[in-house]
């Protein structure tokens, strides 16, 4: 039986690459999406060309009921979830004082509570089987903070604390919990950056390029592998040296 992975926010960007990477290594993949049904379907057909064990699942990760229904459906379609990648996230640029409380709550609800909702839904089976891998996708801004992305930074810092505490709590059950902290990655999330913004950013990146979704997917593939079997509770920075 192949392992089963749930990747949240896998319709686009980093999550899409992670789904492809895990599916290529023979893992059964549950593609979660919220609004991008067509893109999720496109990815489903792309993966089906080489791995039949894949399906798409709609759920807003901030909604505990939708998450619980999604996890039950995945368990009956593909089997118990061995690997969870909490990747779904939203960002918003602007002054903290201009952000409405509704926008703030949505950001924390998706980026932080969302990861907690999905983790809570998959943990009982991982604990039962005494095995599992959870990867939380944070951000370098969660490590060092970004001006004009204050609530986003707080949500991502929260994910780092969540990772470390949960890693301690569930290690006795054979479950590893780690965090990846990407730098600037070429996805829709950065679509507002102009060519000159990107050039300026590259100036500040020691490895002299922005990251690709595949850079993050490779790091996930390694962290969930047996090569990393003694690693839990870490924050793995994948940022070309932008934040050290
Ligand atoms: P993206 O291209 O904007 O994709 C975001 C993904 O999250 C989409 O698949 C979207 O699904 C999903 N999503 C958003 N809200 C959701 C919700 N409520 N429930 C379920 N899924 C939801 O962003 P990305 O760059 O790939 O980012 C992926 C993760 O990496 C995020 O957590 C982000 O904070 C983090 N990150 C990104 C960068 C970067 O430079 N790109 C840097 C550091 C960290 P739908 O379209 O189907 O709604």
First-residue to last-residue Cα distance in the chain:
40
Is 51 among the domain residues? yes
What CATH number does the domain containing 178 carry? 3.40.50.720
Assess contact for 239 and 181: CB atoms under 8 A. yes
Distance CA 179, CA 162 (A): 9
Cα radius of gyration rounded to whole Å, the chain = 17
Ligand 1 cavity residues, CB under 6 Å: 8-9, 11-15, 32-36, 60-62, 87-91, 110, 137, 139, 182, 184-185, 187-190
152 belongs to the catalytic site: yes
Contact indicator for 14, 213 with CB cutoff of 8 Å: yes
pLDDT of residue 76: 97
Contact 213, 13 (CB under 8 A): yes
Q: Does some domain include residue 151?
A: yes
Set 33, 45, 129, 152: catalytic member: 152
Question: Is residue 79, in this structure, part of any structural domain at all?
Answer: yes
Distance between CA 180 and CA 220 in Å, rounded? 8
Total number of domains in the chain: 1
Question: Which residue has the CA at smallest separation from atom 34 of ligand 1?
Answer: 89
Residues 6+ away with beta carbon under 8 Å from 203: none
Structure letter (DSSP) for residue 34: S
Nearest-atom number in ligand 1 for the CA of 189 is: 3
Task: Tell whether 179 is covered by a domain.
Answer: yes
Helix ranges restricted to H, 49-112: 64-77, 101-108
Ligand 1 atom having least distance to the Cα of 88: 7
Q: Which of 182, 145, 135, 4 is nearest to 79 (CA)?
A: 4
54, part of any domain? yes
Range of the domain at 80: 4-238
Please give the distance, rounded to the nearest whole angstrom, from the Cα atom of residue 90 to the centre of ligand 1. 6
Domain membership of residue 244 (yes or no) is: no
**What pLDDT does residue 1 have?**
81
Could you tell me the CA-to-CA distances from 170 to 82, 135, 173 in Å, in that order? 14, 13, 5
226: which residues sit within 8 A by CB, 6+ positions away?
none
Spell out the per-residue pLDDT of the chain, length 244, in tens.
899 999 999 999 999 999 999 999 999 999 999 999 999 999 999 999 999 999 999 999 999 999 999 999 999 999 999 999 999 999 999 999 999 999 999 999 999 999 999 999 999 999 999 999 999 999 999 999 999 999 999 999 999 999 999 999 999 999 999 999 999 999 999 999 999 999 999 999 999 999 999 999 999 999 999 999 999 999 999 999 999 9
Per-residue confidence (pLDDT) for residue 153, from 0 to 100: 98
Q: Is residue 135 part of a domain?
A: yes
Question: What pLDDT score does 134 carry?
Answer: 99
Does the residue 243 lie in any domain? no
Decide the pairing of beta strands 132-137 and 83-86.
parallel
Task: List CB contacts of 18: < 8 A, sequence separation 6 or more.
Answer: 7, 10, 85, 87, 213, 216, 217, 220
Long-range residue pairs from 186-195, CB within 8 A, at least 24 positions apart, any chain: 186/210, 186/211, 186/212, 186/213, 187/12, 187/13, 187/14, 187/213, 188/12, 188/13, 189/13, 189/89, 189/91, 192/93
């Amino acid at each position: 039986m192949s392992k089963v992975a749930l990747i949240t926010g896998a319709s686009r960007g980093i999550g899409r690459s992670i789904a492809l990477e895990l599916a290529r290594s023979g893992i059964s993949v549950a593609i979660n999406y919220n609004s991008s049904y067509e893109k999720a379907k496109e990815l489903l057909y792309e993966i089906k060309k080489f791995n039949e064990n894949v399906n798409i699942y709609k759920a807003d990760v901030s909604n505990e009921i939708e998450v619980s229904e999604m996890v039950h459906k995945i368990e009956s379609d593909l089997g118990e979830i061995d690997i969870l990648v909490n990747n779904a996230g939203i960002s918003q640029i602007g002054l903290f004082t201009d952000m409405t409380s509704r926008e703030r709550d949505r950001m924390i609800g998706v980026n932080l509570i969302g990861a907690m909702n999905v983790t809570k839904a998959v943990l009982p089976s991982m604990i039962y089987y005494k095995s599992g891998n959870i990867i939380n996708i944070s951000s370098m801004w969660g490590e060092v903070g970004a001006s004009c992305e204050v609530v986003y930074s707080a949500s991502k810092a929260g994910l780092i604390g969540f990772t470390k505490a949960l890693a301690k709590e569930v290690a006795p059950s054979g479950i590893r919990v780690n965090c990846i902290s990407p730098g600037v990655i070429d996805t829709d999330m950065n679509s507002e950056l102009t060519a000159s913004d990107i050039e300026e950013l590259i100036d500040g990146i020691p490895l002299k390029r922005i990251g690709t979704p595949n850079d993050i997917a490779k790091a996930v593939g390694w962290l969930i592998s047996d090569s990393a079997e003694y690693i839990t509770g870490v924050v793995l920075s994948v940022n070309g040296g932008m934040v050290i």
